[in-house]
Amino acid sequence: MRVLVTGARGFLGRHILHSLSRRSEFEVVADRRLEDRPAIDLLDRAAVQHLVTEMCPSHVVHACGSHPKRAMEDLFLVHSVTTQNLLDAFAQAGQIVRWINIGTAASYGAQDPEIEPHLEESHPDQVLSEYAGSKVAQEQAVAAAAECGVVRPTFLRVFNAIGPGQSGPFLVPAILEQLRGSCRSVLRLGNLDCVRDFVDVRDVAEAVVACLRFPRTNGEKLNVCSGVGTRVDEIAYMLMAAVTRKRDLRLDAVPLPPPAIRYQRGSYRRIEELCGWRPRYTLAETVRDIWQEAVGS
């Protein structure tokens, strides 16, 4: 399998590249040529066409993406325009490729734990943010290309991926930034009672591998999650406990508007049935590895 990985320099992309590169059945290419050259601009239609023609991939892992706090225009460019450029390039080249689309559980919207304690793929989409809207639009573009016979897709809905190497405006990097402050005695976070399904990024990468190995997932929407719901304050306390030199730290709530999604906990039953994947890392192991990398960097 000759696999093109987009977003190869991102948090998910780096781990996906690592997992694929360890397997002999995959020949991995990326939206970059060599480490000493700039990445391919997926917004440049001519460059994308050249990439597809030159690399001739049989499989695509579309992990190119952005974080939820970007402006709507940027989200549209990163999630929709880059996707359409790739799809058009494959259509022009006359190639039919297996396409693993990295989506988000945010596209499901709100979840009522009393009615649906574990969120299934049958849950209808409910766009509650510009980020979710841009990702749903991305999936719709891929689905339309599939109808035209350009791609054979699998749509992964990734829940809250965390792990070593994460940066940017996300919960765990925000906690780590505060913990690194030697003079801090208080850790301040908002919406402490929100529940999220945190899944190790290395498990997400292995889910991609599993889907590439099982082509019968054509057209499927599959959750990639831990199946465990964890409050924001719980993961904060776990990271605080890893900092043995700061046992006097306390956690204070920062007043913030309530989020649109207060509870999210997934089910990985479907991907386990189809591909044999299930999460391997516990949250405690993930937190341990995150902190070990943080103090070593």
At 185 the pLDDT is 75
Q: What is the dihedral of CA 284, 226, 187, 293, to 10 degrees?
A: 50
At 187 the pLDDT is 85
How far is 128 from 135, CA to CA, in rounded Å?
A: 12
Start-end of H helices in the chain: 11-21, 45-55, 72-76, 82-93, 130-147, 171-179, 201-213, 232-242, 269-275, 283-296
Q: Which residues of the chain have pLDDT under 50?
A: 33-36
At 274 the pLDDT is 94
At 34 the pLDDT is 41
At 254 the pLDDT is 87
* C-alpha pair distances (Å), 223 with each of 120, 128, 243: 8, 19, 32
- The DSSP element (H or E) to which 151 belongs, if any, is strand 151-158
Q: What is the pLDDT of residues 41-86, one digit of tens each?
A: 899 999 999 999 999 999 999 999 888 777 788 999 999 999 999 9
At 95 the pLDDT is 86
How far is 261 from 25, CA to CA, in rounded Å?
A: 40
Domains (range + CATH), the chain = 2-165+198-227+265-280 (3.40.50.720)
Q: What is the pLDDT of residues 154-166, one digit of tens each?
A: 999 999 999 999 9
At 76 the pLDDT is 92
